[in-house]
């Protein structure tokens, strides 16, 4: 019964806040996607990776691969830094609305579902950025190790 009272008393504010939050997060994610695209970055890393296997690669090429990998890592790390607070905020919003039960108002249920979907999208974008940063870092380290081997040979 208390939850129903809370829902009826605060539902208009919750709906407005949830809609505004979803709009802001969606706008941010669109802007973020324009700034950094993990898929494109991974395609570029896919193209750089086989170059390390070339037995006749020269130090200058290894340096270029390392620098480009570090640029991708930096962009992916910035993506993580921007998305993490949004993911945390959406998780808090989702948790605040609690689990869905039979006595919860339909509009609260809809808000919870919308926030849950937005949270899932933001979490996926965050994980893609984290994986790309890690992969770029590994490639940069491999290029640097190989560059040191080539320069001492």
Task: Write out pLDDT tens, residues 18-53.
Answer: 455 455 555 555 454 457 999 999 999 999 999 999
pLDDT for res 129: 97
Decide which of 145 and 151 is more confident: 145
pTM, rounded to two decimals: 0.72
* Contacts for 41 with CB less than 8 Å, ≥ 6 apart: 72, 75, 76, 132, 136
- Are the C-beta atoms of residues 15 and 97 closer than 8 Å to each other? no
pLDDT in tens, 66-88: 999 999 999 999 999 999 999 99
- Are the C-beta atoms of residues 11 and 107 closer than 8 Å to each other? yes
pLDDT for res 111: 83
């Amino acid at each position: 019964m208390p939850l129903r009272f809370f829902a009826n008393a605060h539902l208009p504010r919750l709906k407005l806040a949830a809609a505004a939050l979803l709009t802001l997060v969606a706008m941010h994610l669109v802007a973020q996607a324009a700034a950094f695209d993990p898929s494109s970055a991974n395609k570029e890393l896919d193209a750089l990776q086989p170059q390390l296997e070339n037995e006749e690669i020269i130090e200058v090429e290894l340096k270029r691969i390392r620098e480009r990998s570090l640029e991708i890592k930096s962009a992916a790390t910035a993506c993580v830094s921007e998305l993490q607070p949004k993911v945390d905020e959406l998780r808090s919003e989702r948790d605040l609305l609690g689990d869905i039960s039979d006595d919860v108002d339909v509009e609260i249920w809809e808000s919870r579902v919308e926030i849950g979907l937005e949270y899932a999208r933001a979490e996926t974008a965050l994980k893609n950025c984290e994986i790309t940063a890690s992969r770029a870092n590994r490639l940069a380290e491999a290029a640097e190790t190989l560059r040191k081997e080539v320069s001492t040979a």
